[in-house]
Structure 1
Amino acid sequence: MTPSDQQQEPRLTSLAHGGGCGCKIAPGLLSGILRDTRAMPIPEALLVGIETSDDAAVYLLNETQALVATTDFFMPVVDDPHDFGRIAATNAISDVYAMGATPIMALALVGMPINVLSPETIGRVLDGGASICREAGIPIAGGHSIDSVEPIYGLVAMGLVDPALLKKNSGARPGDVLVLGKPLGVGVMSAALKQGALDPAGYARMIDTTTRLNRPGPELARLEGVHALTDVTGFGLGGHALEMARGSGSDLALDWRAVPLLEGVRDLAERGFVTGASGRNWASYGQGIALSADMSELDRALLSDPQTSGGLLVACAPDAVDQVLGIFAAQGFAAAAPIGQILDRSDTPRVILR
C-alpha cells in the first residue's frame, strides 16, 4: 500500500457499528444467552465463575496462589490506531486489577479488515497495546488474529492473587462506603468524537482516563477494610452498582451529586451526545434502580453511560475510606470520591439514587 493509499484509509470508528465497551451485549440479553451455561458442573477449585457477573474467572492453584483470567476486546472507540490499542489493553488488564490481582501476562486478540487497513495501521494498534503491557510490567506472550469485517482488538489478561486477598464484586457489607476511582463520561465523549464535536482538550482528557491503569487494585485488596471491588465498564455505573448490590444481597444507595464527571461531559450530553448503549443498558436493568425525584433524563443517561476502561468501584468499611482515598491519590487518581453506601440486606436488591 502506497503512502497516498494510506492517506485514504477510512477513520477507524467509521468501520465499527459501535465502539469501546459500548459494544457489549445488553445485560438483559446477555443473561438470557448465558442462562443454560449456569447449569454446567463447577470444579471446587473454581473460586469465581459466572455466578455474580464478576470481572474475571479465578482458579485456585495452591494455598497461596490463584490464577485470575479474563478477556476483553472491542471495536475502535477512537480513530488514532495507537490510542485504540492503548485503550483496549488498559481496559482488558483492568479486570485483573479489579479482582485485587497482579497481572502476569497477556495474549493478544486481533481481528482486522486487512484489505481496508494498511499493515502499518494495524501494527500501530498492536504497538499501542504492547506499550500498555510494558507499563503494567507484563509480556504479550502470544495471541490469535483473523481477517474480520470490523477492526477488533483486545487481550486475554492473566494475573495472580493470594486467595485470602481475593476481592469479588459480591463481598460488600451493609454499612460499607462506596468509592469510585475515575470520573464518568467516556461514552458521551466517544459519541461526541465520532461526530467531530470533541475538541483537542476533551480528547486529551478522554485518553488520559482510558489509558490510566487501575493499579491501585492489588494495594486496595490488601486493606482489611476493603470488602468488594469491581470496575465500571460497559454497563455504566448503574449496571455495575446493581451487580454489586445483587451479588451482596443488599440495597445500594448512590449520592448522584457526589459522582464525579469528566470535565465537559454534562455539556456534551446536553447537546445530545449520548450513546445508544446507554438506552439499551437502561432498558435492561432500569427496573432495578430507583431514581430520585430530581433526576432528569440526562442524569439517567449518564448513570447508564458505558465506560470504556472505567474506574474501580470499592466497597469498604467507613473507617477505611481515608486509606482508600490515599491509595488512589498516591497513584494519580485525584478524582476518586465516596459516592454512596451499602444499605440493609434485601430479598430484591436494588440501587437507590439520592
Structure 2
Amino acid sequence: MKRLTQYAQGGGCACKIPAGDLERLLSGSGMPLPRDAEAELLVGLDTGDDAAVVRVQDGTVIISTADFFTPVVDDPYDWGRIAAANALSDVYAMGGRPVVALNLLCWPVDHLPYDLAAEVLRGGAEVTARAGCHLAGGHSVTDVEPKYGLAVTGVADPGRLLQNSTGRAGLPLSLSKPLGLGVLNNRHKSTGEVFPQAVETMIRLNAEASRDALAAGIRCATDVTGFGLLGHLHKLARASGVTAVIDASAVPVLEGAERAVREGFVPGGSRRNLDWVAPHLDHGDVPEETLLLLADAQTSGGLLVAGEIPGAPVIGELVENTGHTIIVRH
C-alpha cells in the first residue's frame, strides 16, 4: 500500500506558511480591509479571523473560506474526511452554517493512482453530507504533491457572529478538542503507527461546539489549527486588546502526545509557532515540552471560545492587557 504521507514534505495544517511570514506577506499585498461598520465586507484581513464575511442583505451574511493541505494520514478516505472537516471548521468558527462546498484537489498523476484520489473525494463527500452541506464539483490540477481540501460558503446571522476580535476581560476560555494532533500525525508519518484517537478527533465536526457557543450568547471564538493554540490565541488576544492567561495543566491533550514530544516527533511548524509567539509570551518556568504542545500545529482542531460551553474544559481566562498577549501558568 502506498503511504500518502511519504509524498509530501509537510503534513496537514503544519504545512502552512509560517504565521509571521504570512502576516508580512499579506501586509504588502494591497488586499482591502473593511472600511466601516456599514461596508459590505464585515470581516476581512484586519484581525486575521477564520473566514471572510460579506453582508448580502438585511438579516443574512455570507461566510467564505478555503482550506487544503498535504496528507496528514496515509489512509486516503480518512485524509479526505479530515481535510473536509477542517475546511468546514472555519465556517463554524464564525458562527455560521456551511451551505455549499467545492473540492480542491491537487494530484501527482504519474506517481499515485486515481483510485486513491477517488477515496479522498469519497471521504470529503461523507463529511460534507454529515454536515448537511452540498458538495458541488470543484477544481483539480496535477501537482508534485497530493493536496486536498474545500472552498466553503456558509450563512450566518450578522448579529450572532463569532469573531476573534470581540473578547473582553473577565471571560473564561474553553477548548472543545484536545491538543497533540500535530505531534501524533508527525509520528504517524515517521513510523507508520496509526493513532485512532487522533483520527476520531480530526474528523469530528465543530458544528455542535459552534451551536453551543451561539446558544450561550458567546461572541468571541476561533478554531485551533496550523498556528497552534498559542498562535491562534495570540491573534485573538491581540485583536481583542486583552491578555489571555492559560492554565497549562487544564489544557486537554490526546493520549500519546506527551510521549511523542519527549521522543522528538515535533513538527517544524509547531516549533515555528512557538518562535513566533515567544516575544509576546510570559511563560515563567513552564517547560519547553509543555510549550511545544501548546504551540503544536493542529489539523482540524477544536474551537477556542471566550465563554463556557458543554463538554469543553475551561483552560484559562481573558484579563486586562498586561503588555503580553499570553501568560502561561502551570
TM normalised by structure 1 equals 0.89
Aligned mates of 1:105, 1:349 — CA distance in 2? 39
SS in 2 for 1:168: coil
Structure 2 counterpart of 1:154: 149
Q: Does 1:204 align with 2:196?
A: yes
1:264 counterpart (256, 270, 274)? 256
Aligned mates of 2:190, 2:29 — CA distance in 1? 39
Q: Does 1:273 align with 2:248?
A: no
1:138, CA displacement in angstroms?
1.1
1:305 counterpart (296, 311, 314)? 296
Q: Any runs of at least 4 consecutive aligned residues in structure 1 with deviations exceeding 3 A, and if so which?
A: none
Q: Which amino acid aligns with 2:234?
A: L
1:345, CA displacement in angstroms?
3.6
Structure 1 counterpart of 2:140: 145
Cα gap change, 1:42/1:244 in structure 2, threshold over 3 Å: closer, same or farther?
A: closer
Q: Does 1:32 align with 2:24?
A: yes
SS in 2 for 1:233: coil
Q: Does 1:296 align with 2:287?
A: yes
Unaligned runs of 5+ in 2: none
Structure 2 counterpart of 1:131: 126
Cα gap change, 1:231/1:41 in structure 2, threshold over 3 Å: closer, same or farther?
A: closer
Cα gap change, 1:16/1:57 in structure 2, threshold over 3 Å: closer, same or farther?
A: same
Structure 2 counterpart of 1:47: 42
Structure 1 counterpart of 2:161: 166
- Contact preservation (8 Å) 2:4, 2:71: yes
- Contact preservation (8 Å) 2:51, 2:65: yes
- After superposition, residues 1-354 of structure 1 pair within 5 angstroms as 7=1, 10-37=2-29, 40=32, 42=34, 44-196=39-191, 198=193, 200=194, 203-223=195-215, 225-293=217-285, 295-316=286-307, 321=308, 324-325=309-310, 329=311, 336-345=312-321, 348-354=323-329
Cα gap change, 1:221/1:94 in structure 2, threshold over 3 Å: closer, same or farther?
A: same
- Contact preservation (8 Å) 2:33, 2:46: no
Aligned mates of 2:103, 2:16 — CA distance in 1? 19
Q: Which amino acid aligns with 1:352?
A: I
Aligned mates of 1:343, 1:278 — CA distance in 2? 26
1:216, CA displacement in angstroms?
2.1
Aligned mates of 2:33, 2:163 — CA distance in 1? 21
Aligned mates of 1:259, 1:217 — CA distance in 2? 17
